[in-house]
Structure 1
Amino acid sequence: MKIKLRYFASLREALGAQGELELPEGSRVGEARDRLIARGAPFEASLARHKALRAALNQALCDESAVLADGDELAFFPPVTGG
């Protein structure tokens, strides 16, 4: 299956605005993140497991256990803080 990727804020600066990823059917958000990290720089640094990131599946916040389907849009962005 193929999903669409979107990146926001500092991730957009490092990785670009969007991309695509092919995954096996039934893959989860965490598996997509791991597959992207495995691409190496700059994905490895930007999506590293020690970084706090949020994910949205089809424009709804989700956790890494959410199951992906063909054609889904998966977005990654840093948590928002106020001040």
Structure 2
Amino acid sequence: MKIELRYFASVRESLGLAQESVELPADVRTVGDVRVWLRARGGAWSDTLAEGRVLRMACNHAMTDAATRLTEGCEVAFFPPVTGG
């Protein structure tokens, strides 16, 4: 399955990448699976997407959780929690 990934704010800065298209392995079926799969890249990926690190996730522009199922061509985004002032 091919999906689009977007990275925002400090996630984008840490990874040095704003977006990419990826072909996922068959066992990556949820937003949480994508996060685990990306962490396996190591280095900044492992640190930035670490388990326990608070990150917000969206799928097709809707806030989501790790259990959200992926569909062909969907867009998954990772970003830090937003605070206001």
Question: TM-score, normalised to structure 2's length?
Answer: 0.90
Give 3-state SS (helix, strand or coil) of 1:56's partner.
strand
Q: CA RMSD in A?
A: 1.4
Q: 1:70 to 1:25 in 2, by over 3 A?
A: farther
Partner of 1:56: 58
Partner of 2:20: 19
CA contact (8 A) 1:25 1:69 kept: no
> 1:33 & 1:22 partners in 2: Cα distance?
14
Q: Show the 5 A alignment for 1:1-12.
A: 1-12=1-12
- Gaps of at least 5 residues in structure 1 are none
Shift in Å at residue 76 of structure 1? 0.3
CA contact (8 A) 1:54 1:79 kept: yes
Deviates more, 1:59-68 or 1:14-23: 14-23
Q: Show the 5 A alignment for 1:38-53.
A: 38-53=40-55
Moved over 6 A (4+): none
- Gaps of at least 5 residues in structure 2 are none
Deviates more, 1:12-21 or 1:73-82: 12-21
- Percent identity reads 52
CA contact (8 A) 1:14 1:42 kept: yes
> 1:26 & 1:36 partners in 2: Cα distance?
10
- The alignment of Structure 1 onto Structure 2 pairs a total of residues equal to 83
CA offset digits 1:50-80 (Å, max 9, x no partner)? 2100101011101110000111000000011
